[in-house]
Amino acid sequence: MWRLNKVRHKAGGHANSLEELRTKRREKERALRQARRDRQLVSKRLLLNEDEEQDTMEVAPGEQDVVTLFQILQHGGTEKEAFLRPLSKALRNPSAQLTFIKLENSMHLLVGLLTGSDARCRLQAVRCLHELSHSPHTSVASACLPATPYLLTYLSGQSTKFTELCLYTLGNICPDSERVKERLLAQGIIPALAGCIQNHRHNLAVVEAAGFALFQLLQSNDAAQKVIPTVLASSLPSQLLSVLTPDPDFGLAPAIECAWCLHSLTSSSEDHRELLAQGALRQCCSLLVSLGGAVADGNTDQGLELLVCPLLRCVGNLLSPCPAEALHSQLGGVDLVAPLCELVVALLHTLPALAKETAWVLNNLTAHSTESCSALLTLNLVPRLLELLPFSQGINTMVLRVLANVAHKKKEFCVRLAELGLLSALTATLKMADQNVVTLSLEVLFMIIVSCPQMAEQFVSQGGLSVLEAIQYNSDGEVRRRATYLLEQHILTEK
């Protein structure tokens, strides 16, 4: 799922401890991204120093406090790098972080080392800033502001290690303070990220880090007003879309980060013309179909679900405002209907929340596309949808909405739905305790019977009359009125 052979962990020492560290990191990052799938989660990332165990002055945090190290560094000398290493380790302690930023000229010292001529000291200085950025204390982010112009400038550099640290540091401090976020915007973080991805487009480790930093920037209440317009006007959308081609050797992580950025763009703005013009719907659909096929074939890669989720949301959001007449060209020939149905079934038992989101996309697709509704019928996919109606957690309500879309389009579609067993399925859903399911079932039944009055007799023959009569005693007044209207105006009149 992750860049297991790329992300820098502690190296040296014992193979077992290294593998344990990797496993713990994988589990933690998986948990964070899993949480992001369920809600928009702002999380921080910490890149561990790969050569910590080789430090000649290795000191456990707390054994030599930051005050002493700061004083040594402040008094100069040629071995500053050797003291910066234990300082970065000591700064993992939250109380040490607060102590450090309260020291007079402490940040001035770090910025001086960050901008100095010694490349090794620059690297260790940015590590210290990175440790500070991971602080749980929001005041630490504001203290890092003097360094941000230089961190942004260094994004145009060529060192992967250094650029990654700058990006994750910027991403970590973004959500801690509106003041920090506004300052970063004013300092040009968006064009800096665009330039970084462009310069490092073949370096997926940097692209992943840039995606993380951008996602953090997009997580604010006023992102739609202050951030997204600038992002859409930049080259970032096209660059994000270009990353939606996972590298088999590198993994899914860069694509996951960029997909979540696109999700933020599509969910925080109503105007998707720019994204549609750049082929966002086609690109997301194409990758979604490929991933859906892998899931349907039994691929259990844990990273797949974390990429499928933002792609589903992107496609669903982009479908809603897309003009019906432009849908075919926007999809670029990608057939979504069958893959979406397969994906719902494949995810049903293992990831029901994603199954529901998949059904939601199918709902958006069929809502304004007669071709998609026709495909459900001609490909004989309706029976598979009917099999999903017993499942709760919102899946059956979404499936009923899809069936309602089909019934709404044409009289011929209503006839075909009835032939495929919809009426008997509705007699079952009308008995369910979920009022939303009952209400939607009544709406679908109403469309079927109004379009084809002869279907009323068929519905009655399948036990539908007693079901509707029972609903007249339902506790929900609106449900009772709908059932009574159907009975009196359309069912009993046809007997």
**Who's near 274: CB < 8 A, 6+ residues apart?**
232, 237
> Would the CA dihedral through 432, 438, 442, 445 be positive or negative?
negative
Judge contact between 419 and 460, C-beta under 8 A.
no
**Who's near 358: CB < 8 A, 6+ residues apart?**
312, 340, 343, 344, 347
In the chain, the number of structural domains is 2
Residue 375 lies in a domain: no
pLDDT the model gives residue 64:
55
pLDDT the model gives residue 13:
40
Distance CA 482, CA 485 (A): 5
Residue 51 lies in a domain: no
Residue found under tokens 């010694």: 118
Residue 309 lies in a domain: no
Query: CA-CA-CA-CA torsion for 154, 160, 165, 167, nearest 10 degrees?
Result: 60
CA distances from 383 to 365, 397, 399, 431 (A): 18, 16, 11, 20
Last residue of a domain, one of 137, 172, 187: 187
Q: Three-state DSSP class for 76?
A: coil
pLDDT the model gives residue 5:
29
The CATH number of the domain holding residue 416 is: 1.25.10.10
Distance CA 311, CA 53 (A): 40
Residues in the chain, how many? Answer: 495
Residue 355 lies in a domain: no
Q: Which two tokens stand for residue 112?
A: 């001086």
Residue whose C-alpha is closest to residue 456's, from 431, 420, 426: 426
Q: What is the DSSP letter of 251?
A: B
Q: Which two tokens stand for residue 160?
A: 């992967």
What are the residues facing 251 on neighbouring strands? 247
pLDDT the model gives residue 320:
85
Distance CA 35, CA 265 (A): 19
Convert 22-38 to b/e letters by CB count within 10 Å (16 or more is b).
Answer: beebeeebeeebeebbe
Last residue of a domain, one of 187, 211, 239: 187
CA atoms within 13 A on the CB side of 374: 5
- 3-state SS, one letter per residue, for 156-180: HCCCHHHHHHHHHHHHHHHHHCHHH
CA atoms within 13 A on the CB side of 348: 18
Judge contact between 417 and 385, C-beta under 8 A.
no
Q: What is the DSSP letter of 489?
A: I
Judge contact between 373 and 413, C-beta under 8 A.
yes
> Would the CA dihedral through 64, 67, 68, 72 be positive or negative?
positive
Q: What is the DSSP letter of 488?
A: I
**Who's near 118: CB < 8 A, 6+ residues apart?**
80, 81
pLDDT the model gives residue 234:
95
pLDDT in tens, the chain (495 residues): 223 223 222 233 434 454 554 455 456 555 555 555 445 455 788 887 665 544 444 444 553 589 999 999 988 777 888 899 999 999 999 999 999 999 999 999 999 999 999 999 999 999 999 999 999 999 999 999 999 999 999 999 889 999 999 999 999 999 888 889 999 999 999 999 999 999 998 899 999 999 999 999 998 878 888 999 999 999 999 999 999 986 666 678 899 999 999 999 998 877 788 999 999 999 999 999 988 888 878 776 767 888 999 999 999 999 988 888 888 888 877 889 999 999 999 999 988 999 999 999 999 999 989 999 999 999 999 999 999 999 988 999 999 999 999 999 999 999 999 999 999 999 999 999 898 999 999 999 999 999 988 889 899 998 889 898 888 877 778 888 888 888 888 777 755
Residue whose C-alpha is closest to residue 418's, from 434, 430, 406: 406
Q: Three-state DSSP class for 57?
A: coil
Residue 56 lies in a domain: no
Residue 255 lies in a domain: no
Phi, psi dihedral angles at 12 (to 5 degrees):
80, -170
Residue 397 lies in a domain: yes
Residue whose C-alpha is closest to residue 341's, from 373, 376, 391, 311: 376
With residue 204 as reference, give the H or E element that holds it. helix 204-218
Neighbours of 165 (CB within 10 A): 24
Residue 445 lies in a domain: yes
What's the angle, vertex CA 181, arms to CA 177 and CA 186, rounded to 5? Answer: 145
- The pTM of the full predicted model, rounded to 2 decimals, is 0.86
Last residue of a domain, one of 136, 152, 187: 187
Residue 358 burial by Cβ neighbours in a 10 Å radius (0-12, 13-18, 19+): buried
Domain, as residue range, for 161? 62-187
pLDDT the model gives residue 65:
84
Neighbours of 145 (CB within 10 A): 16
Distance CA 445, CA 404 (A): 9
Convert 402-431 to b/e letters by CB count within 10 Å (16 or more is b).
Answer: bbbbbbbbeeebbebbbebebbebbbebbe
